Amino acid sequence: MAGAKETPRQKMIGMMYLVLTALLALQVTSAILEKFVLLNNSLEQSTGSTNRVNQETLDKIRSQVSKTGNRPADAAVLQQADQVRKMSSDMVAELDRLKTQIVEASGGTDEQGNIKNLSEEEKVAQVMVGNNRNGEAYKLQTTLNTFVNNLSKLANAKFAPMAVDGKDDPIAARSPEQRTKDFATLNFAQTPVPAALAVLSQKQADVRRIEGETLDALAARVGAQDVKFDKIMAMLSMESKVVVAGTKFKGEMFLAASSSGIQPRMSLSGGPVRMDNGRGIIEFTAQGGGSYDKNGLARRVLSGSISYNAPDGTVKTVPMQAEYFVAKPTYNIETGTLPPMYLGCENKLSIQSPQLGALWNPSITGAGAQVIQSGERGKVTVVPNSASVRLTISNQGSVLGSEDFRVQRVPRPTIEYLVGGRPATDPRGVPVGSARSLQVRAVADPSFLAAAPNDANFRVTGITVNLARGTRRIFGPVALGPGGGSLGAMAAEMEPGDRISIQVEGVQRRNFRGDISEVPMGNLIQNIALY
């Protein structure tokens, strides 16, 4: 907003106007009316001072245009500046006419030039508001706001409207009574003469303020096409920001200059470049496109141009080309399950790229497997459903590579027998006196257990035991529950030379999801001798 450029004096005037607006709704005494007279005089003096400053700005524009040889572009700026001065002077003159009309309608002035009837309100309303919205204030509202719009275009800025209704006025909008009033009623109904004059003087001050800001903007354009290098910067161009210990750092140090008087236009690869303080800001995602050489590098060339307006009015364009290389990102697969993967099992992978660092946010998809995301970057669980799996690793839309994995079936467990709490591994068998209990366990393959511990949960579901002597069955069959049980009843019949015949009825496996499946083990019969 233009208000950000106000001088301390202009801010003081604005504060005075806020006080004026607040007092308009009050029944004022003669002492306050005298204060309005002083306020109006102060506003008129400030407007005159600003007018002189604005004239000096116009004179400087005219002088600068003459110094640069009256170039067409600068001459056009001077013509606009003259137009701004004329529009502002016409607007101030119109406001002076209204002030004179109000004073004359209220009874004029005495011999000393003082207003005769300071408290007159009715005549003010007749002139400015009228009987049927036909007063001077309604035309003034349109004229003031048109003036602001015209200068906004010339200054390439957005000035706030000068004549607003109550709902748009920062003070009146706070009052339920005042916010419904239009501009004319708000400022000139039930308003004594000096207060009405102060309102119009404030508008004159605003006119000169906006005129000054517009002239300042036009002054900045005079000579804008001259290429004057007034910004000097020290620059360091490095071959690489990453240097391996023991290798040489290489670069160039130089001075760079730019001009605050020109606004260059830059393009890169056919598209515009974002500008910041006269410099082009280039940022894009490097794409290798799969065309990497044996060293993992892809050569790329940036093509662009910088255009600017030369002092002779022509447009100069400077082409530019720069070579750079895109390095193929690498990644590491960290896992205890590969190779290989196990069919239908939980295979955890951690795929990381130290090169990309914080930019590493991969997307991992699989053919022949379900890929379960963990919520952590690069960490997934792969559940194969075919004999081979191919994982494709991408990062920010760029495919980095594909990896193939072998898939194996889950190995069958080993069946272990414990008689009397001890493994029955002695070729002679077990003593008769220790054969009081039997446990049978399904033990997972060690490599499978290490790779997929959450899938290596086996158990024996049932056991049938017989006591045999020679070719005859002496006792049984005895059915034991999952994992085994007591042989107490059978032990009373045992003699040295007998044998225990054990048949495993079934084996089951629980996977990482908690699902139970039968493990095909065939006909498992184990004979253990007694001595």
- The parent domain of residue 305 ranges over 231-327
Task: Read off the tokens for 370.
Answer: 């379900």
Would residue 378 count as lying in a domain?
Answer: yes
Give the Cα separation of 386 and 408 in Å (integer): 9
Mark whether 296 and 365 lie in a shared domain. Answer: no
Q: Quick one: pLDDT at residue 224? A: 47
Does 187 share its domain with 271? no
Strands 274-276 and 279-281, how do they pair? Answer: antiparallel
Q: What is the DSSP code string of 151-212?
A: HHHHHTS-PPPSS--GGGSTTGGGSTTTTTS-HHHHHHTT--HHHHHHHHHHHHHHHHHHHH
Distances from the Cα of 15 to the Cα of 8, 10, 11, 183, angstroms: 11, 9, 6, 19
Asked, for residue 226, whether it belongs to a domain, the answer is no
Neighbours of 518 (CB within 10 A): 10
The domain boundary, picked from 221, 253, 282, lies at: 221
Indicate the pTM of the whole model.
0.43
Write the burial class of residue 530 (CB in 10 Å: 0-12 exposed, 13-18 middle, 19+ buried).
Answer: buried
- 462 and 368 housed in the same domain: no
Residue of 322, 385, 378, 326 whose CA lies nearest to 349: 378
| 44 in any annotated domain | yes
Does any domain span residue 105? Answer: yes
- Report the interhelical angle of 8-23 vs 193-221 (nearest 10°): 150
Q: Is residue 366 part of a domain?
A: yes
The answer to whether residues 164 and 236 belong to one domain is no
Per-residue pLDDT, 3: 44
Could you give phi then psi for residue 40, rounded to 5 degrees? -65, -40
* Residue 456 domain flag: yes
- Domain co-membership, 440 together with 383: no
**How many CA atoms lie less than 13 Å away from 220 in the CB half-sphere?**
12
pLDDT at position 268 is 85
| pLDDT the model gives residue 14 | 64
Q: What is the dihedral of CA 240, 246, 247, 248, to 10 degrees?
A: 90
128 and 40 both lie in a single domain: yes
According to DSSP, the β-strands at 398-408 and 341-342 are parallel
Question: Same domain for 403 and 464?
Answer: no
**Closest of 339, 332, 91, 70 to residue 209, by C-alpha:** 91
Beta-bridge partners for 285: none
Burial 323-349 (b: 16+ CB within 10 A, else e): eeebebbebeeebebbebbbbbbbbbb
For the chain, the domain total comes to: 4
Of 327, 355, 372, the residue at which a domain comes to its end is 327
Amino acid at position 179, single letter = R
The DSSP element (H or E) to which 406 belongs, if any, is: strand 398-408
Same domain? For 452 and 340 the reply is: no
Contact predicate 212/53, CB 8 Å = yes
Mean pLDDT of residues grouped by 10 in the chain (531 residues)? Answer: 55 61 52 74 85 92 86 89 94 92 88 84 90 90 94 91 90 87 89 87 92 91 62 72 61 74 80 82 72 72 81 75 74 61 90 78 91 90 92 84 89 92 87 89 92 92 91 90 88 89 93 92 90 87
φ and ψ of 419, to 5 deg: -110, 125
What Cα–Cα distance (Å) separates residue 380 from each residue in 45, 337, 343, 502? Answer: 78, 12, 16, 43
Both tokens of residue 180?
Answer: 């419904």
